[in-house]
Amino acid sequence: MPRHLKVCIKPNYLQMKKSLLIALLITAFFFDLAGQERIITVSNDTIECRITRITRNMIYFDTSVRGIKTSGRIPVRDVYSYYVMPTGMGVQVKQAEEETLAGSLRISLNGGMAYLTASSDQAEEALTGFGVTPAKAKAYYKDLKTGWYGSADASWIFNRKYGIGLKYKFFNTGAATEGYFDPGDPFNLYYTTYTENIYVNYGGVLLSGFEPLGSRNLFTLYSSFSAGITFYRDETGVFSEAVLITGKALGMDCTFGLDYRITPLISAGAELSFFASTLRSINFTDGETEQSQELEKENYENLSRMEVSVGIRFYLWNK
């Protein structure tokens, strides 16, 4: 081989090795990039990581920030999609929405104020018949129509959208007035205090619907309907005597609320509800005798009320 030909071949051979090395480095870079597991959130943020475990509601991962390895987790509801490298070749991509909630227990506790919606005109007229002034009778029933209430319910939530469970509600109100009362004879008037305390308990089955709001699902709008039994208790005192009136009837409750998620397991919320129930018969006793009475339609006891409350919700088995 001529001497000048050997000199030309050597530089070309070195150039080929350099090009091959660059190609291998580029290939390795793109292979590493494709093989990197990552999580894409609903707010379009990307977390480069190694996914270690996936549950119904949570994704656990390890990541490295400036050489420091840390572990973290993110609720599935905050994840748009995630990329997982399986044991075989290729990258596996899953939409977070495909991870449906198999079920979780929601426990809700609420407290607030309630207002009886029934008219008190007929009751005010009856009270003035005992000698109470119209102004005092009006103030008395104004106090009696406003009270406080509490509620608790437990629902099994499935598919993140629907729930079924049980609901309990309690309502209490009371009022008092004093003055000269006419006992019904033409000779005497008695100065005394007339008091009344009303307690209403309710229990029933519950159906609920939920709708997450916003890109991060921090807020949830919900509504519910409940049907069950109402238990009524009215403790009345006048002329140093006590009378107990009780009864029960069918009841219904409709609720609309908004929750804010504090953590995956705890939310705070506010709700507006309407409760409806009507007594058609009552039992009353003075401690010595007991009597039952069917009420005339115009004397039905309307227990319907509007309610506004705030509360806290707990999600169990929300893993």
CATH of the domain at 86: 2.30.30
pLDDT at 65: 80
Q: For residues 202 and 133, state if they share a domain.
A: yes
Quickly state the pLDDT bin for 212 (edges 50, 70, 90).
confident
pLDDT at 7: 43
Q: For residues 57 and 116, state if they share a domain.
A: no
User: What average pLDDT does range 259-269 have in this prediction?
Assistant: 91
Q: For residues 249 and 285, state if they share a domain.
A: yes
| Structural domain count, the chain | 2
Q: For residues 122 and 245, state if they share a domain.
A: yes
Domain boundary pick from 98, 127, 145: 98
Domain boundary pick from 36, 65, 98: 98
**Mean pLDDT for the chain overall:** 82
Q: For residues 155 and 204, state if they share a domain.
A: yes
User: What average pLDDT does range 251-268 have in this prediction?
Assistant: 93
Q: Which of 177-191, 249-263, 289-303 has the lowest mean pLDDT?
A: 177-191
Domain boundary pick from 45, 79, 98: 98
User: What average pLDDT does range 198-220 have in this prediction?
Assistant: 90
Q: For residues 230 and 292, state if they share a domain.
A: yes
Quickly state the pLDDT bin for 183 (edges 50, 70, 90).
low
Q: For residues 161 and 280, state if they share a domain.
A: yes
> pTM higher than 0.75, yes or no?
no
CATH number at residue 212: 2.40.160.20
User: How far is the C-alpha of 96 from the C-alpha of 79, rounded, in Å?
Assistant: 6
- N- to C-terminal Cα separation, the chain: 76
Digit-coded pLDDT (tens) for 22-75: 544 444 444 444 446 888 887 778 888 888 888 877 889 988 888 788 888 888
Q: For residues 13 and 134, state if they share a domain.
A: no
pLDDT at 29: 44
Q: Which of 182-191, 219-228, 241-250 has the lowest mean pLDDT?
A: 182-191
More confident residue, 319 or 59: 59
Q: Are 133 and 139 in contact (CB under 8 A)?
A: no
pLDDT at 288: 83
Asked if residue 207 has pLDDT above 90, the reply is: yes
Q: For residues 117 and 203, state if they share a domain.
A: yes
Q: For residues 139 and 267, state if they share a domain.
A: yes
More confident residue, 298 or 217: 298
Q: For residues 61 and 137, state if they share a domain.
A: no
Share of the chain above pLDDT 90, in %: 42
Q: For residues 148 and 248, state if they share a domain.
A: yes
pLDDT at 99: 43
Domain extent at residue 37: 3-98
